[in-house]
A and B are shown apart, each in its own frame.
Chain A
């Protein structure tokens, strides 16, 4: 194999396998005499062509079974998250205070209680989700989808009644948007997949169990973490001022829970598994972002998570809208 052929073969790995061999022949035939490597323009053209082919094929496959399975996994993760939000109803910030103290960041004055964009404490918003999960596990697909959409869309009137204009205030709006997004994602993913029973069958016993353990851990982290029994002074009602650091173990249960959920879904060797990783990562990215920023800077906590929220959820919803459109086209073609 000549150096040029070797280098071209590496570039052609960007392309689907069915294109590589024939393209290699054309590239070698069009190469200049003595040429040992593709020029910058040739390399740029190869990258551009690969992106166009991969993207077009991906868009065409959105209505197919691979994405349907990926959406089933996404439905499982987001429905589990929506169920954990019910825990927020029982949330009591004093539970987050070790020995009556609450840890604050020196600069921003924000406490651990602000770590997550938290779900609104309106139990009617979250109560339907365990039922949605149960219906989907019982393969009552249409009932589960209908209830999921009703639960997701009814969040807005519930918020209006419970919080009024406070729902749109900084500090509350991130949490409300984030959890409304999770609910809409769960309803959309349930609509576009064969449901939670199918997702559990795809993942298998151990991965399914790991995912549910991850969700339970996350719920626990959301409810309140155990007190850090270090050198906190005795006393009551004294506010301890302390900066968050990377060695602060307080974020570990939440980060571990999200990581466990992500790893449980990760099956990079299967086509649906790779797509599952992408969609689950997008769905979890605002929460993961807040955790990463926990030990970097409180100041940018809200804005970075908000930016991800603005970017990640619409991308995910656009993918699902594409899948819906592809299915409609497929149905129209089969009836005509």
Chain B
């Protein structure tokens, strides 16, 4: 089944979860690190994405903790989510390689 390409914030959230379960605040920090500070997720965007990812079965709740009286929910990548992330990474890699090769070709002929 063909999937639509993932949007960048969604791709980065799945990438953050690929290393292991994380809570919301952890994901925000990790996404900022992965993207070299380029993408700073806000809470509304993050939870809209997490709500969709859990509904689509790409991520799921790992566990819940209470830290300093506040609920902290950890999310993890599902097998479907990992497969989807791998397919997306492969698509992006292929596109990047093609673009690089074409640029080299253009550079060589110039």
| Chain A residues at the B interface, C-beta cutoff of 8 Å | 15, 19, 21-30, 41-42, 45-50, 52-53, 56-57, 60
User: Is there a chain A Cβ closer than 8 Å to B1's Cβ?
Assistant: no
Query: When chains A and B are docked, how far (Å) is the Cα of A26 from the Cα of B67?
Result: 12
Interface SS, A side: helix
- The answer to whether B42 touches A45, judged by C-beta atoms less than 8 angstroms apart, is yes
User: Is there a chain A Cβ closer than 8 Å to B4's Cβ?
Assistant: no
- The answer to whether B43 touches A49, judged by C-beta atoms less than 8 angstroms apart, is yes
Q: Which 6 pairs from chain A and chain B are nearest by CB?
A: A49-B44, A45-B44, A25-B70, A45-B42, A52-B48, A49-B48
- The answer to whether A50 touches B70, judged by C-beta atoms less than 8 angstroms apart, is no
| Chain B residues at the A interface, C-beta cutoff of 8 Å | 23-25, 28, 42-48, 51-52, 55, 67, 70-73
Contacts of B25 in A (CB 8 A): 25-26, 29-30
Greatest chain A CB density within 10 A among B28, B43, B45 is at B43
- The answer to whether A23 touches B24, judged by C-beta atoms less than 8 angstroms apart, is yes
- The answer to whether B71 touches A21, judged by C-beta atoms less than 8 angstroms apart, is yes
- Distance between A330 CB and nearest chain B CB, rounded to angstroms: 14
Q: Given that A45-B43, A46-B43 are contacting pairs, would A22 and B51 also be in contact in the complex, using a CB cutoff of 8 Å?
A: no
Q: Given that A24-B70, A26-B25, A30-B28 are contacting pairs, would A19 and B51 also be in contact in the complex, using a CB cutoff of 8 Å?
A: yes
Contacts of B51 in A (CB 8 A): 19, 52-53, 56-57
| CB-based nearest A residue for B24 | A26
- Distance between A252 CB and nearest chain B CB, rounded to angstroms: 46
- The answer to whether B71 touches A25, judged by C-beta atoms less than 8 angstroms apart, is yes
Residue in A25, A41, A57 whose CB lies within 8 Å of B72: A25
Query: When chains A and B are docked, how far (Å) is the Cα of A203 from the Cα of B77?
Result: 44
- Distance between B32 CB and nearest chain A CB, rounded to angstroms: 11
- Distance between A54 CB and nearest chain B CB, rounded to angstroms: 10
Contacts of B42 in A (CB 8 A): 30, 41-42, 45-46, 49
